[in-house]
Chain A
């Protein structure tokens, strides 16, 4: 067992395997932004309060500023760039745009990942549950109303689409 200040780290980033030499004290967001050039994940408070750095590790949302980059060895990391390219959240992004659910955009990537997390886990969540789930993502522009509206509209549409899909197969 070695003790190190730089560690070779191999993990999956948005579906592709990458191997990099990583300074052990570097957090995941800094690594994604500086070493990988993925600047969609933002750095806000750097102590786990603001949610701007939200990414997915093995499918679960985490604070990128509270994870060391070397800790993702062997894991699957997904960022806003990956979710955008795959089209997984295209409808959420469109709804944020349509409903003016962002102004400066700083919180938006984290907000989208958190909203998508809830939409996947409880597709019929109430307005209150949506507020609760995004409570750890701070937005200083919108007052949240438009964000919650956008998430509600997408979840409703997805449920309708799922119901249509099911009835077509009946």
Chain B
């Protein structure tokens, strides 16, 4: 189908975006990469009165597209594309989790246009970036006319397509603490075909010393209404290490921690089972690294 009628304006500066958001509120939609918004428009699932195109803001504000190390933190500009994140040498070096996850996001033409900030603002529970941000304990920078605030990714996602973003705010960048010596990362996902929406997936950050797991952050996607930080599951592996018996205990903890809803193809029970399988796979990958 074709998109419903709307007005359109291309913003050159953030200040214009803030004025428009104040003026139009919920009648306006932000257009960044458009790889979720355009399908929603074409399927008439969304009918905003105004599209505010922010895709050119980077021309005047390079930090909005930049991927850079600053001190002990990585900053990803909200308008960096999935392809840019996946190919960034800094990210490949310090955040292999993000580089791996990028290859699971749809297909190359979509990765060339979809943006990091756009994925977070959309907050699809099956999306890769939100789970990665939760596993890595990222801070999301939200900016409005009155200034910027930071919120932990672990607080930002509130439910399906629902976040802590206020109507007058946009995401401007995301900040990740660079893991130091001894930290490992892994990403595993199941989809019916490569590039399809995930049935389930998990992003993992672990501090490993020999066979000891000293710290672990497992964030699951596709098994709840938002990314799920599996605290109890992680605790089992940290206290007992990784073995067949600890895996069984962790899988039991996980079954309680997640509450997946069935989708068109996969029942809730199957999703719960697959998440348990992925827990084992991601641990093996972490420990093999």
Contact = CB atoms under 8 A, between A and B. Distances in A.
Interface of A: 1-5, 7, 24-25, 27, 30, 46-48, 51, 54, 60-63, 65-68, 70-71, 73, 114, 117, 132-133, 135-137
B2 interface: yes
Size class of the contact patch on chain B? 35 or more
A62 B109 contact: yes
A3 B110 contact: no
A132 B194 CA distance: 8
Contact of B8 (A24, A54, A67): A24
B7 A3 contact: yes
Nearest to B49: A3
Interface of B: 1-12, 16, 31, 34-35, 38-39, 41-43, 50-51, 53, 55, 83, 106-110, 112-113, 193-195
| Interface of A, helix, strand, loop or mixed by DSSP | mixed
B4 A25 contact: yes
Contact of B5 (A25, A51, A66): A25
Contact of A27 (B10, B11, B42, B193): B42
Contact of B109 (A24, A25, A51, A70): A51
B8 A66 contact: no
Contact of A68 (B7, B8, B109): B8
B112 A61 contact: yes
A24 B16 contact: no
Contacts of B41: 25
Given A25-B2, A71-B53, A136-B195, A63 B7 contact: no
A135 B34 contact: no
Q: Sorted from nearest, which 5 A-B pairs have the closest CB atoms?
A: A136-B107, A24-B8, A47-B39, A66-B38, A3-B7
B8 A7 contact: yes
Contact of A1 (B9, B43, B113, B193): B9
Contacts of B2: 25, 27, 30, 46
Contacts of B50: 3
Contact of A47 (B11, B31, B42, B107): B42
B42 A46 contact: yes
A30 B53 CA distance: 20
19 contacts: A1-B12, A3-B7, A4-B8, A7-B8, A24-B7, A25-B3, A51-B109, A60-B109, A60-B112, A61-B112, A63-B109, A66-B34, A66-B35, A68-B31, A68-B38, A71-B34, A114-B109, A136-B108, A136-B110
A68 B7 CA distance: 12
Contacts of B34: 66-68, 71
Given A67-B34, A136-B195, A54 B109 contact: yes
B262 to A, nearest CB: 22
Given A65-B38, A70-B10, 20 more contacts: A4-B7, A24-B6, A24-B7, A24-B8, A25-B2, A25-B3, A27-B42, A46-B1, A46-B2, A47-B42, A47-B43, A48-B35, A61-B108, A62-B109, A67-B34, A68-B31, A68-B51, A71-B34, A71-B53, A135-B194
Contacts of A133: 108
B115 to A, nearest CB: 13
Contacts of A46: 1-2, 42
B3 A66 contact: no
B110 A48 contact: yes
B38 A67 contact: yes
A114 B108 contact: yes
Nearest to B40: A47
A66 B7 contact: no
Contacts of A136: 106-110, 195
Contacts of B113: 62-63, 66-67
B195 A2 contact: no
A165 to B, nearest CB: 28
Contacts of B38: 27, 47-48, 65-68
